[in-house]
Structure 1
C-alpha cells in the first residue's frame, strides 16, 4: 500500500483554478481500482491519497495529476507494508 502525500507549492488560488481537472483525475484513480481513500489535509496545505498497486504504475498516475503538470503540488510517495488492521480493512494488508 502507498500513502501519496501532496503538498501545495503555489497559493490556494492556483489549486482552486485546477481543482475540477484534479478531481476528474482522482476519480480515474478510483476507476482504475488504484485509489482506496483520499481527502484534504487540515489545515489545507495539500492532500493525501491511500493507493494500492505497482509502484511504477502509481508514479506514472501521480505524474499525470493536473496539480503536478501545472506545478501546483509536489508528491511524496511512501510505501507501507501493513501487518495489522482493524476488522473490515484486511484488504489493505499486503
Structure 2
C-alpha cells in the first residue's frame, strides 16, 4: 500500500489505496482527501473490482473469439501478456 500526497494551487490532495482479494476477485478501494483553507476537507472514495482468470481461461477466450494467440514475456510485462491477432478469413 502506498500513499500519495500532492500540494498544488493552495490545495493538498491525498490518495490512500487498500487492496485485497476474495477468491477470484481482486478489489482495490481508494480514498481521496482534498483540503484547502477556504473549502476545508472533502473526502470521496472509489472501489474497483476485477475478476481474475487463469492463463488457460484467457487462452480459451481468445480462441473462442477467433484469434491466433502468442504468449510473450517482456521486461515491461514480467508476468507476460497475450498478443491476439484476428485469424485469416475471420
Higher strand share: 2
> TM-score scaled by structure 1?
0.25
- Which protein has the bigger helix share? 1
Greater Rg over alpha carbons, structure: 2
TM-score, scaled to structure 2: 0.26
- Higher relative contact order structure (alpha carbons within 8 Å, sequence separation ≥ 6): 1
